Structure 1
């Protein structure tokens, strides 16, 4: 099996959004990683999940060492990600896989999407390593040239991993309550405090926030610091790992509670910009969360399709049972729509990094929208997939329990759904983000123009409400915005494939998306009749793909 070959949307989407040269370069990587994800990587991921990291606090002679012992399966999965495919390196330097420039974010997220369909946990340190290199490049590239080189290396002898220590017990989401204190020692700083949730606590390069004396209260008083695992003289830094968390999911990687006991640190960028710099790191990590949710949905859909085709009930395959088809259809549509949104956000991030101010404003709101909606939807899709498999879906011999456990993480890390929805509201208040979205996507395709006008008006009305009312309503409105973006992107893909290949499959996906948005209780008959092509890929006549539009108009009549 090959996960890239079994994905009906991935290659056609990349055909449209990538240049011809980039598309040619990525093809052998898709083929190789798709096969690994469906085979060796999947086996290693299961082993790593069943054998979580162990904290070794003391050496035999009693010396405090605070090391983490990983199962060999973890190390092999890490080598595939960091070394063979350079997933943490490719955004930061030319030359990875022969690219003459930095690899576009679209390529990175497409490859990561295949990887995460088997190994979810590793995507956390991968994302933090990638994000740490990004922050150092953006805000202090000369001082940290060596660290950037190590974080973006694929050489197993020199590559480094990154981490972000931000959460404190008393603060959580309220970062302004951070109590870790920074002390200026002249040639460097020392940090003293406790971090309550620190993933990848044995990282080589840690970025964290600490309170700078005299700089003020709240987030304005926070500076960003780099805390290395080793001091410049090679001795172990004063980072004490107090214990590892016993997590519901993401078991292949370590998360712990950490004490900084006058730990050696150096400032990153301007100390007065600490929170703003960390927000940049968090926003990129949120897009990674959305990608991971999309990968989990795709794997869950794949498992459900394979199971229902093989399982016979009352004389015919489950896949052919009417209620099962109605159950599978929205899962298939949402997984495909999610992929389009992640790739769109990644493309806009590439443009923003090239200096496009409009793209930067757009990706600022696309990222929280994607995380808010996709991470929530992944929880329900993976849960539905578990139920579809029946009793076996609840047994650890199968992948479903791991998918479900991991899916719950996306809606928590880097901000819970409510926190993310409030971030969308912040974007609306500060930059009329709902209007930016309507201006960007409202005229792209005729089929969604009316929906965007309604959403523009609804967003304007929401901002006229008292602040408490705005906050109460933003969650549902954020979902509406996200789904309108995905619907628009699906129509763009449908039009492209209709024009270039004469295949109506992608157009039927878009039409079905509209029908389910308008009337979720009545799945369109045409889509149900062509579920095999929607699930696996295949040719659908263009005239057939138009039929759900008539269905939707009839439903509104």
Structure 2
């Protein structure tokens, strides 16, 4: 049986190994990886968790105070578009990219014959976000652009793909996605940037403005623009790769090594664009976000003309999962900091984790972390499965799951829900983590301040909650995603048989039937009412799906088939608490119920102490 973790031995949530302390992500990856994949990945994730917990975490605090700076012009007034980074940021980049955070999921890493699934990239992003969600933005977009080129490039951009997926830092180029325009925002179809083909140069040239450009100086930037006579709306948009440097000014893409060796570009080597300014942001300081004016920038068409928005959605799926993984990572770091602080902070003669209210709060924070991580990496599993099938079909005559199969349909529904729900959970958890620390949590000297500032962007990046909720409706209407959803929930509930889970399983089954009825009723309503209900529906799907998933995982651990190999009832307590919090309604807000669950389950849920399944009947939510 796995022993509990004494958080009082730590002073704070740094100079530790995040992989070693996070048994939740270890369990989820063991579940979604093959045995061979996990055996290969475990020591590397442990090494990365150690690196993030020490060097990257310390560097991230420095970068938050001394972030990138833009020098749009040189001393003569000519455009140079130079972004200067602190040395600590460059060190973090080297550490992350050379440990394969992008490369491992696209090219076979040392010791393997094929790449790791894309869920491995998301797992490393999760660990990275224990330290710096701002830096994770360039990492996520680098993987996203690599995915787009893998799918749609005809070979003209092979050098860019090689740089995006490079393991040697000197060979790396980073990716970006310039999507938002001032007049468009979430209404991408209103974008006005135009593309004109320059026959003499042999490139397309872009004209227009992009308003929010994260990782502004990336060499592998994707942008949407409208070619001549293209229709209005998203149907008329094409996708282009727009390099930071003039593509005719060098023998290949501008790599990290080129930048380190040569410094800022000379004005005649700059692509025809102006980086006007960096945004003065609340958080995510490590990623330079600014405004770009295309003044005839040379660009290469990616994929088919007027198919750009559809191609961009392939990247968007990965970016939304990256956002969800970042949310889970921030929740994990806040939870860790809160556990450590509560185990050390004394008030009125006791450490504050001995008091019932704090114990209840820590229990529920831990349950939220379990739920968010389980849902996100189940969506990641489906995404990785679909992408791996696509890669294999490209080399064979077998058919890929191109949009008709259950994997795609369920993935298409779960991804926007994962992004929407976990982002809100990250903000709420980070906010409360500051409260746990009292006044210290509110000042810059303590990391909880930065975690909240970084978390605040997560509900905005890659689509607001309203936009994502409407996307859920589209997945239900266009892909009939309710069918694999309901089938999957039912199959999971059928696996749950342990007596300790019986009451919770009955509650979830009742809610499953209510959810099915709600989906049927909504399908019969007009579009206005469906949109009015979309956000509630997205949260309802998350709650029922996650409850079934946690119950199934709890059943596995009760049978001794979990990570430790021993019968363990800890996850049963997590699942029961999640069901009680999200799907049950208590009379008088539960005040008169006599429920002491948080006190009785504290050691197991918060400190990860194993639970003998035979003892589960002693730790239950009191029945009315």
TM surpasses 0.5 = yes
Tell whether the 8 Å contact from 1:508 to 1:527 is kept in structure 2 after alignment: no
1:109 CA drift (Å) = 1.8
Verify the 8 A CA contact 1:241 1:258 in the aligned structure 2: yes
Instruction: Tell me, in whole angstroms, the C-alpha distance in 2 between the residues paired with 1:546 and 1:278.
Output: 51
Q: In the alignment, what sits opposite 2:284? A: 250
1:238 aligns with 272
Task: Give the structure-2-normalised TM-score.
Answer: 0.86
What corresponds to 2:69 in structure 1? 54
Distance in 1 separating the partners of 2:154 and 2:571: 43
Displacement after TM superposition at 1:469 (Å): 1.4
Total equivalences in the alignment:
551
* 2:9 corresponds to: none
For 1:492 and 1:471, locate their aligned partners in 2 and report how far apart those are by CA, in whole Å.
32
Cα distance in 1 for residues equivalent to 2:107 and 2:468: 31
What whole-Å deviation, never above 9, does each CA across 1:371-420 have from its counterpart, x for those lacking one?
A: 11110111111101101110010011110111101111110011111111
Q: Partners in 1 of 2:419 and 2:306 — Cα distance?
A: 28
Tell me which residue corresponds to 2:614: 543
Aligned to 2:500: none
Cross-structure match for 1:361? 409
8 Å CA contact retained: 2:105, 2:117? yes
Q: Which residue of 1 aligns with 2:368?
A: 334
Q: Among residues 413, 419, 431, which one is paired with 2:461 in the alignment?
A: 413
Assess if the C-alpha contact under 8 Å between 2:573 and 2:601 holds in 1.
Answer: no
1:80 equivalent in alignment to 2:95? yes
Unaligned runs of 5+ in 2: 1-15, 250-268, 390-399, 495-504, 561-565
Aligned to 2:578: 513
After TM superposition, the structure 1 = structure 2 runs for residues 134-533 of structure 1, keeping only pairs within 5 Å, are 134-186=147-199, 187-234=202-249, 235-353=269-387, 354=389, 355-356=400-401, 357-446=405-494, 447=505, 448-500=508-560, 501-517=566-582, 518-519=584-585, 521-522=589-590, 525-533=596-604
Q: How far apart are the structure 1 equivalents of 2:167 and 2:45?
A: 18
Q: CA deviation at 1:443?
A: 2.4
Q: Alignment partner of 2:195: what SS?
A: strand
Q: Distance in 2 between matches of 1:175 and 1:16?
A: 37
Q: CA deviation at 1:97?
A: 4.3
Shift of 1:153: 0.3
> SS in structure 2 opposite 1:249?
coil
For the residue of structure 2 that corresponds to 1:366, the secondary structure is: helix
Higher relative contact order (CA 8 A, sep 6+): 2
Segment of structure 1 superposing worse, 193-202 or 223-232: 223-232
Q: Give the TM-score taking structure 1 as reference length.
A: 0.96
Deviates more, 1:525-534 or 1:150-159: 525-534
Distance 2:617 2:117 in 1: 34
Structure 1 moving runs of 4+ over 6 Å = none
| Deviation of the 1:550 alpha carbon | 6.0
- Mean Cα deviation higher: 353-362 or 37-46: 353-362
Name structure 1 gaps, 5 residues minimum. Answer: none
Secondary structure in structure 1 of the residue aligned to 2:104 = coil
CA-CA distance at 1:436 after TM superposition: 2.6
Distance 2:174 2:411 in 1: 26
The separation in 2 between residues aligned to 1:156 and 1:359, in whole angstroms, is 35
Mean Cα displacement is larger for which, 55-64 or 307-316? Answer: 55-64
